[in-house]
Amino acid sequence: MEAASLPAGLELVAGGGAGLSPEKRAVLGSSLLLLQRDYRFERVWFWGCIQGVRGAYYIAEGLGPDRAAPRSRLYSLNCVEWSLLPPATKEMVAQAEQLKGRFQGDPSFEYENTEINAEDAEGLIEDGKELLMKEEARLVATIEQIDRAVGIIPRGAFLKTPLGSVHENRNFEGLSLTEAKKLSSYFHFTEPVNLKNKTLLEKADLDPSTDFLDSLEHDVPQGSWTVQLEKGGTVVVLRSLLWLGLTFYHVPMTKQYGYVYFGTGEKNLDLPFML
């Protein structure tokens, strides 16, 4: 969620029981503004918090003029001092998917093959040596996984230019209440997959400037999102059942929207059996 509207945004997603203490909110409010200035980001988003056994990681994302460009990710253990995370690679993500259990809260902690599924351990041995993974690398990969799977925006909030860059739509005034309650009104803010497989007939009614992403209505498994009205029906809240702790909010007919994650960084693998 937008750093500038952090207090209001956290109030709107507080229905799920997650949030920050008043002290943490105050510290974050000032440190994120300093972060934006020091790194010269155009915008800073507070991504959320991954709770470990011995500590928590507070995550922020820095954006440039092109919103579709790779984002800079930073983490903090105390909401004051921030460290830049390296870009996520396919190898990092593949290795992190095999790890089970909670984060420790220590960036230098190393995971060994004993903490990986026995079936997958063989694939992570290279040149006779066991591959170790630091928790910092697992953190990067987990953030990438969550952003790809459940990082969402309302339809029309961003525009794609003929040159391929993506910018905020200044004319976006929010979804109507009727539209805001539909999953088809929300898009995954990542490289589209399903859109490329659509036929020309299916694409005929799409606006290439706004409908350039995948919508949530075809997410697998079906039922992985809950849509609720809160605050007396004035706020639409979407919660992911695949990555428990991810909450998206939108105030219809306004520009207020955003998502935040408060969880353990573990995927809900039991979801298909719960539906």
Bigger pLDDT: 207 vs 154? 154
Give the separation between CA 167 and CA 160, rounded to whole angstroms: 7
**Letter string b/e over residues 258-270, b meaning 16 or more CB atoms within 10 A of that residue's CB:** bbbbbbebbbeee
Least confident of 73-87, 138-152, 211-225: 211-225
Q: Residue 201's pLDDT band (boundaries 50, 70, 90)?
A: low
* Rounded Cα gap, residues 8 and 235, in angstroms: 12
200, pLDDT greater than 80: no
* Pair of tokens at residue 66: 């092109």
CA distance 253 to 159: 18
Average pLDDT over every residue of 147-164: 92
Angle at 68 between CA 67 and CA 73, to 5 degrees: 75
* pLDDT (mean) for 107-123: 67
Question: pLDDT (tens digit, 9 = 90+) per residue, 159-197?
Answer: 999 888 999 999 999 999 999 999 999 999 998 887 767
Band (16; pLDDT cuts 50, 70, 90) = confident
Amino acid at 221: P
- Residue 213 near residue 189, CB atoms below 8 Å: yes
How does residue 43 score in pLDDT terms, banded at 50, 70 and 90? very high
Closest Cα to residue 48, out of 31, 36, 60, 56?
A: 60
Weakest-pLDDT range from 24-28, 49-53, 111-115, 208-212: 111-115
Which of 24-28, 107-111, 119-123 is least confident? 119-123
> Is residue 257 a contact partner of residue 180, using CB atoms and an 8 Å limit?
no
Pairing of strands 43-51, 257-263: parallel
- Answer for the pair 111, 135: CB distance below 8 angstroms, yes or no: yes
> Six-digit token pair at 230?
């809160």
| Tokens (6 digits) for 150 | 């459940």
Which residues fall within 8 angstroms of residue 43, CB to CB, at 6 or more apart?
Answer: 2, 3, 36, 62, 63
Indicate the pTM of the whole model.
0.89
Helix (H, G, I), strand (E, B) or coil at 250: strand
Rounded distance, CA 171 to CA 157, Å? 8
pLDDT tens, residue by residue, 126-140? 544 456 899 999 999
Query: What is the rounded average pLDDT of the residues 263-274?
Result: 91
The answer to whether the CB of 75 falls within 8 A of the CB of 57 is: yes
Dihedral sign for Cα atoms in the order 258, 42, 49, 87: positive
Q: So what's the pLDDT on residue 245?
A: 94
Residue 3: CB atoms within 10 A of its CB come to 21
Give the pair of three-digit tokens for residue 136.
Answer: 């910092």
Measured CA to CA, the distance from residue 55 to residue 179 in angstroms comes to 40
- Name the least confident of 97-111, 163-177, 182-196, 244-258: 182-196
